[in-house]
């Protein structure tokens, strides 16, 4: 038994010696560039809508968004969210399309929030721009199409996009009303 303990200690000591004495090799070549991650997703801070009436059943608010390029308008998924009160008294961010009677228009450097028959002035709004390459590479949403992502509440969509603690101030300069 004593010899077994001595053998065991010798093997452990020898193993530690071998593992701790290693030579650091040369640095290998750089790896391939990875797919775009959640840092590529652009999301705004909440802003308050200030709607105008076009005189023909439509209220609108036009927001300057310098980060909104032609490529983003043509290829990316652009989501808009309104903060609404729940019957419980709590509030939550819901997709603009799910609100009913509201829509989001996008053009180069501009988002337009449209509301049919309802003035949304004073309602908090925020947006998310999801690049097409993120949609194609984010493993959490490969089973979802953009329509499904658009129907998610804000926090669920951000989680699916890999953004687990989004800054309340967004990650771009504030959009401005025009």
How many domains does one find in the chain? 1
Tell me the Ramachandran region of residue 122: left when phi exceeds 0, alpha when psi lies from -120 to 50, beta otherwise. Answer: left
Residue 36: pLDDT band (50, 70, 90) is: very low
When mean pLDDT is compared across 14-18, 63-67, 116-120, 170-174, the lowest value belongs to 14-18
pLDDT digits (tens, 9 = 90+) for 105-147: 999 999 999 998 889 999 999 998 888 777 665 544 444 566 7
Q: Which helix (H) or strand (E) is 103 found in, with range? A: strand 102-107
Structural domain contains residue 154: yes
The residue count for the chain: 178
Residue 142 belongs to domain spanning:
38-177
Q: Round the average pLDDT of the chain to a whole number and report it.
A: 74
Q: Where are the alpha helices (DSSP H) in 22-76?
A: 70-75
Residue 6, pLDDT above cutoff 60: no
What Cα–Cα distance (Å) separates residue 34 from each residue in 30, 45, 110? 11, 28, 30
Structural domain contains residue 61: yes
pLDDT digits (tens, 9 = 90+) for 152-177: 777 777 777 766 666 665 666 555 55
CA dist., res. 43 & res. 177, Å (int):
16
Structural domain contains residue 130: yes
pTM over 0.75: no
Structural domain contains residue 20: no
Structural domain contains residue 14: no
């Amino acid at each position: 038994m004593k010899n077994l303990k001595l053998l065991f200690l010798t093997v452990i000591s020898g193993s530690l010696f071998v593992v701790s004495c290693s030579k650091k090799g040369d640095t290998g070549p750089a790896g391939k560039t990875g797919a775009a991650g959640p840092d590529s997703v652009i999301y705004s801070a909440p802003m308050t809508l200030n709607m105008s009436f076009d005189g023909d059943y439509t209220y609108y608010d036009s927001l300057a968004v310098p980060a909104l390029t032609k490529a983003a308008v043509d290829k990316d998924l652009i989501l808009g969210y309104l903060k609404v009160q729940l019957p419980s008294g709590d509030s939550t961010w819901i997709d603009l399309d799910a609100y009913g009677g509201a829509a989001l228009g996008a053009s180069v450097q501009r988002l337009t929030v449209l509301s049919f028959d309802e003035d949304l002035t004073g309602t908090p709004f925020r947006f998310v721009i999801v690049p097409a390459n993120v949609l194609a590479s984010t493993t959490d949403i490969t089973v979802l199409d953009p329509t499904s992502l658009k129907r998610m509440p804000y926090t669920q969509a951000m989680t699916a996009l890999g953004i687990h603690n989004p800054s309340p101030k967004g990650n771009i300069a504030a959009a401005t009303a025009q």
